[in-house]
Amino acid sequence: MAARLASDLAAPRSRLALLLLMAPALVWLVGLVVLPHVELAVLSLRARVAPRVYEWSLDQYRTFVDEPLYWRTFVRTATISIVATACTLAIAFPAAWYIAKIARGRAKTVLFVLCLIPFWVSETVRTLGWMILLRESGVVPRLLVDLGITPAPVELLYHDATILVGLVYTSLLFMVVPLVSALESLDDSLIEAAYDLGGNGWSILRQIVVPHAAPGIAAGSIVVFMLTLGNYLTPTLLGGKNSLWFTEQIYAQFITRFNWEQGAAFGFLLLFLSTAIVWAGLELTGQRFGDVMRRT
Amino acid sequence: MVARTTASPVPARPMQQDLEVDRVTKRYGAQAVVDALSLAVAHGSFFSILGPSGCGKTTLLRIVAGFLAPDEGDVRIGGRSMRGVPPNRRPVNMVFQHLALFPMMTVGENVGYGLARRGGARADIAARVDAMLRRVGLPGAQDRRVDQLSGGQKQRVAIARCLVLEPALLLLDEPLGALDLKLREHMKIELKHLQADFGTTFVYITHDQSEALVLSDRVAVMNAGRFEQVGTPQELYYEPRTPFVAGFVGANNRITGRAAAGDGETVEVVTAEGLAVRARASGNIATGDAVEAFVRPEAVDLARDPVELPPGAQRFSGRVGSLLFDGANSAVLVREERTQAEIRIALPQTGRLADLRVDEPVAFGFAAQSALCFRAGDHGG
């Protein structure tokens, strides 16, 4: 069957049909992903020596290394993103466990929809919602005063922790979905068998549940990490002017400074470094990229 | 196959009850799934609980394993009450329906899992795993992955994983249910050998009467949350005490009707169509009672000529309805001439009557002693 299909596709007419079928995807890939990246790569590798005169150079990349602000911003962004991913995992895992293993029937659907509801409003509105809650004259500081916890309203915005809260909130769904599907495929009798053979909650989690859910955990973590690292709105609004998020640097180069060459170089550095971090994460946990992507 | 060893891991304690279930009840809503059940399983025996699906046998097993708490009653294992003892602290292990081997671990890690949870030297665990795998006929399989094993090998690993912990009791939840027929027959024999070899008490639940009869020392037939009868396979087959057991264990012809004349030992059963048969009475049956009589297919004699039937048997004539050829289990369905009642009769294994044709007139008969009559709906104790 498969062999016949393959030989059919090898025939010239079928090959044309296949090409036509794939055309939209190819146009999309080449036009919107490959071409802009080639353009950016070329941009990032040239330096302006005189008006309208450019030559090949690695100056833009050298700036990143030489200027501590830039690479420190990058390290900071990566660190907070990793912490945000870990926090998201820690919060999403029990929720996913409840949805996958404990909730039944209608409750399961309702809980899933509850995870989805925040995504019905735009990210801007959601983030502004956080600002209304957390600003000095906002809901939470007033509540803290009313409860006698703080003597005067405190400014809860513009802290790293605030950025973290916003990022975790934005990412939760993208962790819950792969985790639920990974945990749902775990046979309950495996957990019972482990318990029956003398395992306790912690050892079963470590030896049975996590190894089974590992591809789902990795898939969710990659998605959340990438989304967080590339997030612009949440760090800017919740962290204020000094949030020092790497995407802000890229934005500043492109829009404020009109230095497209530097912006392109930063864009590529973000791509390379995030890829390197994901690769390192997969290596450290012994996962294979193919297995992980099949889970998403 | 299984290596035979002489030493048993558990010292022999004759006549000790390894498992005592004392008036255990489990309700879901108003319905009692397990209804005031009591049972005792002697040390070293193979005990089966046989019943149709939904009869409560899995619930009972999960209560013994500790996954469910009974609403009433107590479970004692090795004489010790298990009230409030969680599954991971009970001297009981369970072989799950689909075996539940850990796919993320090797065979060796699966078998060593329980030992590692108890703590202990790595070398000691490795040695015990090695010895156990040898005993179940899988020497050197430590590093193999679970998905590289055949169905039979998986079952042996699942049992080895439990027995390496030397439990007082091994519970088996229909482990043969998912296997195909040929392998199931093979695994039945292997299970019996393993049990005899290890001497561990097995409590086995199944809906397959042939598994229960072949494997067990004693069988409890369960229906609607209660035991209909507990006894040896032979007792259940030849001396069923309730109509349910008679109908569930082995093939049987059921004849429902009313009791006519009785002489204390045998009664005459008259069906609605007017067929009258005599059967041995089980319990007190009064004239006019609604009754069910059972006669085994192999207890009915079949002949072309009525004079060939043994003397003293009640005789009927009929026509062959259908022929059910199945080697040694071959049977014919015969329609009684006057009432069209259908009765299943085993074909003699000698090959005599192998040339019967559909619609051929035949004579059949059976002794009143080999048929059993119950009051309808009798459920024993």
Per-residue pLDDT at B8 exceeds 80: no
CA dist., res. A126 & res. A169, Å (int): 9
A210 touches chain B (CB under 8 A): no
pLDDT digits (tens, 9 = 90+) for B116-170: 999 889 999 999 999 999 998 899 999 999 999 988 899 899 999 999 999 999 9
Phi, psi of B203 (to 5 degrees): -115, 120
Residue ranges of domains in chain B: 17-243, 251-375
Interface A:B, Cβ pairs < 8 A: 60
Interchain CB distance below 8 Å, A198 and B97: no
**Mean pLDDT across B325-333:** 89
Cβ neighbours of B87 in A, within 8 Å: 192, 195-196
B114 touches chain A (CB under 8 A): yes
Q: Amino acid identity, residue B106? A: T
* Predicted local distance difference test score (pLDDT) of residue B4: 41
**Mean pLDDT across B280-300:** 90
Cβ neighbours of A207 in B, within 8 Å: 102, 104-105, 113
Per-residue pLDDT at B344 exceeds 50: yes
Interchain CB distance below 8 Å, A196 and B87: yes
* Predicted local distance difference test score (pLDDT) of residue B380: 56
Q: Please indicate whether residue A270 or residue B261 has the higher confidence score (pLDDT).
A: A270
Per-residue pLDDT at B346 exceeds 90: yes
Per-residue pLDDT at A9 exceeds 70: no
Interchain CB distance below 8 Å, B102 and A190: yes
Do B288 and B259 contact (CB within 8 A), yes or no? yes
pLDDT digits (tens, 9 = 90+) for B137-146: 899 999 999 9
Sequential DSSP letters for B13-63: -TT-EEEEEEEEEEEETTEEEEEEEEEEEETT-EEEEE--TTSSHHHHHHH
Closest CA to B99 of B56, B154, B58: B154
Both tokens of residue A16?
């044309």
DSSP-derived 3-state class of residue A104: coil
* Predicted local distance difference test score (pLDDT) of residue A4: 52
Pick the residue of A189, A197, A206, A291 with the most B CBs within 10 A to test the interface with B by mutation: A197
- CATH architecture, domain B251-375: Beta Barrel (2.40)
* Predicted local distance difference test score (pLDDT) of residue B15: 56
Do B293 and B277 contact (CB within 8 A), yes or no? yes
Cβ-nearest to B113 among A189, A197, A211: A197
Pick the residue of A186, A196, A212 with the most B CBs within 10 A to test the interface with B by mutation: A196
pLDDT digits (tens, 9 = 90+) for A123-164: 889 889 999 999 888 899 999 999 988 898 888 889 889 999
To the nearest whole percent, how much of chain B has pLDDT over 70? Answer: 95
Per-residue pLDDT at B95 exceeds 60: yes
Interchain CB distance below 8 Å, B100 and A200: no
B100 touches chain A (CB under 8 A): yes
pLDDT digits (tens, 9 = 90+) for A48-104: 888 888 888 888 899 888 999 999 999 999 999 999 999 999 999 999 999 999 998
Closest CA to B296 of B245, B360, B350, B229: B245
Interchain CB distance below 8 Å, B102 and A189: no
CA dist., res. B81 & res. A181, Å (int): 40
Closest CA to A286 of A214, A227, A184: A214
A202 touches chain B (CB under 8 A): no
Nearest CA in chain B to A204: B117
pLDDT digits (tens, 9 = 90+) for B84-94: 999 999 999 99
* Predicted local distance difference test score (pLDDT) of residue A166: 92
Interchain CB distance below 8 Å, A187 and B98: yes
**Mean pLDDT across A215-231:** 93
For the domain covering B17-243, report its CATH number: 3.40.50.300
Interchain CB distance below 8 Å, B118 and A212: no
- Give chain B's mean pLDDT: 89
**Mean pLDDT across B172-186:** 85
Confidence band of B1 (pLDDT split at 50, 70, 90): very low
Query: What's the fold here for domain A68-295?
Result: MetI-like fold (1.10.3720)
Cβ-nearest to B117 among A187, A198, A212: A198
How many other C-beta atoms are found inside a 10 Å radius of the C-beta of residue B363?
19
Complex prediction ipTM: 0.81
